């Protein structure tokens, strides 16, 4: 359930980031349904990257977190979005046979940092609203 909610939050945040930033795009989106499916797949990949790889990156970059008073988190979040972009570029080659374009394109690392801020804020709001209530 938690992964599903995070995937929806990431997909909504990615949609907002793609709509607001010129450097982020979703390839070949002829219809709304294909765009939604693409964003859900990319949101799932981002949720998995954040669950599996981001904790390792946080441990390795801990001294930089301390020195920058936590601002290095922006760089780590941007790197996770760039990694998601690279992984989904590989998925784009797989999806060509299915007749559907999957993926996310991020033009630069600066765009990735701003995009990760947008995705993080939107995802936090959606996960806060739809997530499990532990109270």
- Three-state secondary structure call for residue 78: helix
Residue 135 lies in a domain: no
pTM for the full model? Answer: 0.87
pLDDT at 98: 56
Q: Is 91 exposed, middle or buried (0-12, 13-18, 19+ CB in 10 A)?
A: middle
What confidence tens digit (pLDDT) does each residue in 111-127 have?
999 999 999 999 999 98
pLDDT at 97: 55
**If DSSP states are collapsed to H, E and C, what string results for 35-62?**
HHHHHHHHHHHHHHHHHHCHHHHHHHCH
pLDDT at 91: 74
> 64 is written with which tokens?
């930089």
Tally of structural domains, the chain: 1
Residue 51 lies in a domain: yes
Residue 125 lies in a domain: yes
Q: Is the Cα dihedral 38, 109, 125, 127 positive or negative?
A: positive
Residue 10 lies in a domain: yes
Q: Which domain covers residue 59, as residue numbers?
A: 2-130
> 72 is written with which tokens?
């290095």
What confidence tens digit (pLDDT) does each residue in 31-83 have?
888 888 889 999 999 999 999 999 999 999 999 999 999 999 999 999 999 99
pLDDT at 38: 87
Q: What are phi and psi of 25, to 5 degrees?
A: -150, 160
């Amino acid at each position: 359930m938690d992964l599903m909610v995070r995937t929806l939050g990431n997909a909504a945040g990615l949609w907002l980031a793609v709509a607001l930033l010129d450097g982020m795009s979703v390839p070949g989106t002829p219809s709304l349904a294909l765009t939604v499916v693409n964003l859900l797949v990319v949101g799932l990949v981002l949720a998995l990257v954040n669950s599996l790889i981001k904790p390792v990156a946080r441990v390795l970059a801990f001294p930089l977190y301390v020195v920058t008073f936590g601002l290095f988190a922006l760089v780590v979040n941007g790197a996770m979005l760039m990694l998601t972009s690279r992984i989904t570029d590989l998925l784009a080659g797989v999806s060509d046979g299915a007749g559907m374009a999957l993926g996310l394109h991020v033009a630069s690392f600066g765009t990735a940092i701003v995009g990760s801020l947008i995705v993080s804020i939107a995802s936090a709001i959606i996960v806060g609203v739809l997530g499990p209530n532990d109270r």
